[in-house]
Amino acid sequence: FRFKDSLAEDLRGADLVISHAGAGSCLEALEEGKPLIVVTNEKLMNNHQLELAKQLHRDGYVLCCNCSTLVETLQSMDLSTLKPFPPGQPEKFALFLDEVVGFQ
């Protein structure tokens, strides 16, 4: 589909997520605990999505490929090698902000 208000229900029901490498899309799938294949678009300039995808792959959280290698990735994937993504810790950021602003 081209646009949908929320993917939360689709993510909860998914066994595998295949996504572009946008930070929001990656984090939403990983936080839902779903195995994720990130498909990079190598034609983007200043490709921060490629940087994110490669780092998540190096850290063992996602499989990474491009459009031309997606079928090969699906055929050879071993989802058991993926590590669970650690939960966020927003309280640490809040404490940091409090410290920087001088609320402590």
φ/ψ of 63, rounded to 5, equals -95, 145
Q: From CA 44, how far away is CA 41, in angstroms rounded?
A: 6
Show the low-confidence residues of the chain (pLDDT under 50). Answer: none
Domain range summary for the chain, segments of one domain joined by +? 7-101
pLDDT for 97: 84
Q: From CA 30, how far away is CA 61, in angstroms rounded?
A: 8
Q: From CA 27, how far away is CA 75, in angstroms rounded?
A: 24
7-101 domain in CATH 3.40.50.2000?
A: yes
pLDDT for 46: 67
Per-residue pLDDT tens for 55-82?
999 999 999 999 999 999 999 999 999 9
Identify which of 11, 3, 21, 1 has the alpha carbon closest to the alpha carbon of residue 67.
21
pTM: 0.81
